[in-house]
Structure 1
Amino acid sequence: MDEKRKHPRTEVNEPGYVSSGGSVMHCVIVNISAEGAAIEVENPAFVPHRFRLVMANDASEVYECRVIWTKKTRVGVSFVDAA
């Protein structure tokens, strides 16, 4: 499989939260790069198209995200600028 990413992903396996419109869902951040991440969730159907990804270990670390792909319980997101 050809690597299409501009930035290499770092495997992290850290807890995090999907936050949108006042609701929060637990997730596990599987890998992360400067441009995006892959997360594991219990039910991807409940992940909104755009949301904030909050790192559980450092709540000051927040990323505005857009869903790019979903495969089973894994969701790939790209980071977008909060404008």
Structure 2
Amino acid sequence: MGMPARLMEEKRKHPRTEINEPAFVSAGGSVMRCVVRNISPDGAAIDVDNPAFVPDQFRLVMAKDSSTHDCRVIWIREKRIGLAFLKSPD
């Protein structure tokens, strides 16, 4: 028997908030649409049409308020990508 998939979430420091918001993957002058499915202070999960075009590090730009997060890809499952937000130096 395999391990329950739910155990994976125990690594998160903060619970994720389920949302369904349009956003953009921005890197190297190119921009791609995505949808943010859930978000926390440390990261997010996004859905994209083609994960092959998403670089390892990029800026996530929220469509609603233009807020941005520098992030890196942690995992990819089909069209969903798990992201960790990179902390900006204070």
TM-score normalised by structure 1 residue count:
0.95
List structure 1 runs of 4+ shifted beyond 6 angstroms. Answer: none
Per-residue deviation, 1:82:
3.5
- Residue 46 (1) aligns with residue 53 (2): yes
What residue ranges of structure 2 are gaps of 5+ in the alignment? 1-5
Residue identity (%) = 61
What residue ranges of structure 1 are gaps of 5+ in the alignment? none
- Structure 2 residue aligned with 1:64, among 62, 70, 73? 70
Separation (CA, whole Å) in 1 of partners of 2:87 and 2:11: 21
**Aligned letter for 1:49?**
D
SS at match of 1:48: coil
**Aligned letter for 2:39?**
I
Separation (CA, whole Å) in 2 of partners of 1:10 and 1:22: 29
More strand by percentage: 1
**Aligned letter for 2:78?**
K
Q: What's 2:30 paired with? A: 23
TM-score normalised by structure 2 residue count:
0.88
* Paired positions, count: 82
Separation (CA, whole Å) in 1 of partners of 2:61 and 2:17: 17
- Max radius of gyration: which structure? 2
User: Per-residue displacement from partner, 1:46-77 (whole Å, max 9, x unpaired)?
Assistant: 00000000000111x10000000000000000
Q: Could you say what the CA RMSD is over the residues aligned between the two structures, in angstroms? A: 0.8
